Amino acid sequence: MPRTSTTPKPGFIVGVLATAGIASTLTHTMVTPLIPSLPAIFNTSADNTTWIITATLLAAAVVMPISGRLGDMIGKRRMLLALTVPLIIGGLICAVAPNLQIMILGRTLQGMGSGMVPLGIAILRDLVPKEKLPSAIATVSATLGVGGAIGMPLSAAMIEFASWRILFCFGALVTFIVSALIFFFIPKVEGQPRRQRFDWLGAIGLSIGLIGLMLGISKGSFWGWGSPFTLGLLIGGVAVLFAWGFWELRCTAPLVDLRTAVIPQVLLTNIASIFVGFGMYSSSLVMPQILQMSSATSYGLGQSVLAAGLWMAPAGLMMLVLSPVSGRLISSKGPKFTLVLGILIMAVGYVVGQLGMTTAWGLLITGVVINSGVAFA
């Protein structure tokens, strides 16, 4: 898209889209300090409260590819604004949730806003000059960690000194401000011609397959890996995804272009992204719980909710600090070198974790090293 006198400067566009990414990431991290307290809050078992996390991840997995395709068709800016709506409504629902079921509904809506980061990166490719693109993408990608760095201690402070309900009101307010920034300062990026039909059958098939597969994996440890329900979800999810893939190859306007997805470079990059995401979210979910658990468990460190958030904050900030470095490294050494380097640093971080999980300082160093690798990857 050619620049005009009314087009905001690239740096300002990156700033707005990075803020949008932080607002989206906050929805995932804000609930992390609450995890140990959720069973008491809703007077239920720990197994039941895991649905608050599971529902968010399931919604994100389903909505991301669909929102990406709709962004291509109707315009990325318009779709980005649309994703702020469930984030705001979901946050307000969570803030007033009287029971676990309503809380899960609100978190499901919030999970639908997870497509903001990939859409923001796609908009960058249309609005930012090519020579500045690597650093811009690295900065927006870094919001995955920055949101955690800001969200965890902030949410922990609200939980400790006010109420966990205010936490979700704050998230809704931040998202509302972000939607206004997008509306007023991000130029329109036209989509493809409207006559192109949306692949509804592909969207439904992908949703059913992903939900079945992810639900079986996430709840298998509770239901039993050999239980008929778990096996039915796993086998059914795989079967539906195979049928979905057959349909996508025959569809004239597929939701996902599988012929492009199986190109070795694209396929290997996507596989690497899965493992990088697993490594990042595993550390961000497990470490706060280890910090907060009672020392009587032999592995808990007995930290307060606020202290746990502060111990985790430097790890998230490392992604912001190193994002311009990774952008320059991509420009000089290439994305393949940078990706491999990032994965190797993450592996070193987990090795460090085997030695340092018994102290808060050890967890801090582990988190910093892992997120440094994520910043490059």
pLDDT tens profile 305-336:
778 778 888 887 787 788 778 878 888 888 88
| Mean pLDDT, the chain, whole residue set | 83
What is the mean pLDDT of the segment spanning 268-295? 81
- Specify the fold of 1-189: Growth Hormone; Chain: A; (1.20.1250)
| CA distances from residue 166 to 55, 159, 163, 209, 224 in whole angstroms, order as listed | 21, 8, 6, 36, 37
Percent of the chain with pLDDT over 70: 94
> DSSP readout, 198-229?
P-HHHHHHHHHHHHHHHHHHHHHHHH-TTSHH
The burial class, CB within 10 Å (0-12 / 13-18 / 19+), for 280 is buried
- Helix locations, the chain, DSSP H: 10-29, 38-41, 46-74, 76-96, 100-111, 116-127, 133-141, 143-161, 164-185, 200-223, 228-250, 258-261, 264-292, 305-333, 335-356, 360-376
With residue 302 as reference, give the H or E element that holds it. none
d(C-alpha 208, C-alpha 236), whole Å: 9
The one-letter code for the residue type at 3 is: R
Give pLDDT tens digits for 134-145.
778 877 777 766
- CA 364 to chain CA centroid, Å, is 21
For residues 191 and 43, the model is more confident at 43
Q: Where are the domains of the chain?
A: 1-189, 199-254, 260-377
For residues 168 and 37, the model is more confident at 168
Give pLDDT tens digits for 23-73.
888 777 778 777 778 888 888 888 888 888 888 888 888 888 888 888 888
Tell me what pLDDT residue 97 has. Answer: 92
Residue 235: band (very low, low, confident or very high) from pLDDT cuts 50, 70, 90: very high
Measured from the Cβ of residue 361, the count of other Cβ atoms closer than 10 Å reads 10
Encoding tokens for residue 82? 């649309």
| CA distances from residue 162 to 42, 202, 270 in whole angstroms, order as listed | 18, 45, 41
The one-letter code for the residue type at 231 is: L
